[in-house]
Amino acid sequence: MENSSKEIETQVSTKDFLKGIFKFFDLLGRNWRILLIGLLLGFTFELVERVTVKKAQTFIARMTFNLELGAEGGGGGQLGGFASQLGLPGMTSVGGDLFSRTNFPLIIKSRAVHEMAFMKEVEVDGKKMLFINYFIDSSDIKTNEWAATVFKDASPYADYEFTKKRPEDFTPRENEIILDVYNKIVGMSEIKPVEKSSFIEVFTTTTNEKLTKVWVETLLSATEDFYRESKTKKSRQMLAIQEARLDSLRGLMQSSDRKLSRLAFDNPNVVDPNGALQQQQVNRNNSYYSQQYLTQLATVENLHRVVLEQTPIFTIVEPIRLPLFTGVEAGLKDKLGSLVGLLLAIVYVVIKNYYREVMND
């Protein structure tokens, strides 16, 4: 008896639950006019707000590229061979973990790369300027982060103009400005790999269309410079040493050539046999310097080739073209306004119905 009574209670409660759902939808159907009015009011409110209230429009730029880090085997092997010949061991590995694919998003968002980008000269509408100055003048940092509020005055940074210099030469004030700009602009960019490919995409969103395009291109150029300087650093250091040796040999060879030319001119008129011996010694030294110079020249040429092989290549497969897409999806806010109006109308109908039931009881 007890089990059968529990089953009856369960059936009755399920029946009541379904009846409540059907009753709710029946209530909405009988008040469809109110729901329609709420839907239209929400759409109208959002439409009026969009027309009357001027809002900052954002622009999205996307660039797709492929990164080739250069020849690890060929260039590294040649560099290791040169290092062993020149008595400089420990240079068989040129790449390292710094250039792994997983580190790329961290590198491109690093302050070091951004500072290189800030100091790059860009051309906008035929006018050349540093990117940091262009960003301060064209972004909304003056009206947002540096604008005057009830609690603070307007920032004096808005009127500052940078001159081209190395990041380590920045003054304390310039470092403060750079930090403000970096904190603002680093959040505007997003880097992610393209699925099932070696391509990488960079997204940037700002309130200025031209600024968005220029920033993505400048950031990629600065990243390429950073990779090139870092990856070829050891090879370029060795190249500088070998070029210095080459210049020294060139000076010795030219000096020997002048001595040999002078002795060849003077010896026919000289009776002393030491003159011929001296000419023979200078001629021997000149041959030695010439041979060493040619060998050193080949070494320098090989190192130039190694640097070229180690240089990373950024191949852009999807460049940025104007006009850019806006950051707000067309019609999205209108749909949200209509949905809010519909929900408010449903709440009104339900409360009104419950009120009537309570008053009737």
Distances (CA, A) of 280 to 74, 251, 273, 285: 44, 20, 11, 9
In this structure, the strands spanning 313-318 and 189-193 are unpaired
pLDDT band at residue 162 under the 50/70/90 scheme: very high
pLDDT by residue (tens digit) across 226-280?
Answer: 988 888 888 888 888 988 988 888 888 888 777 767 766 555 554 455 555 566 6
Is the bond into 156 cis (omega within 30 degrees of 0)? Answer: no
- At 270, the amino acid letter reads V
Whole-number Å distance between alpha carbons of 118 and 111: 10
C-beta separation of 138 from 208 below 8 A: yes
Q: Evaluate if residue 76 carries a pLDDT over 50.
A: no
The pLDDT score that the predictor gives to residue 90 is 43
pLDDT by residue (tens digit) across 133-159?
Answer: 999 999 888 888 888 776 777 788 888
| Residue 330 or residue 47, greater confidence | 47
- At 114, the amino acid letter reads H
What values do phi and psi take at 193, rounded to 5?
Answer: -75, 150
pLDDT by residue (tens digit) across 164-220?
Answer: 999 899 999 999 999 999 999 998 888 888 888 888 888 888 888 999 999 999 999
Average pLDDT over residues 41-57: 65
C-beta separation of 141 from 180 below 8 A: yes
DSSP summary character for residue 315? E
Question: Residue ranges of the domains in the chain?
Answer: 2-55+332-360, 59-232+318-326, 236-310
* pTM of the predicted model as reported, rounded to 2 decimal places: 0.63
pLDDT by residue (tens digit) across 323-333?
Answer: 887 755 444 45
- Residue 66's contacts (CB-CB under 8 Å, 6 or more residues apart) are 198, 199, 200, 314, 315, 317
C-beta separation of 194 from 200 below 8 A: yes
pLDDT by residue (tens digit) across 172-181?
Answer: 999 999 999 9
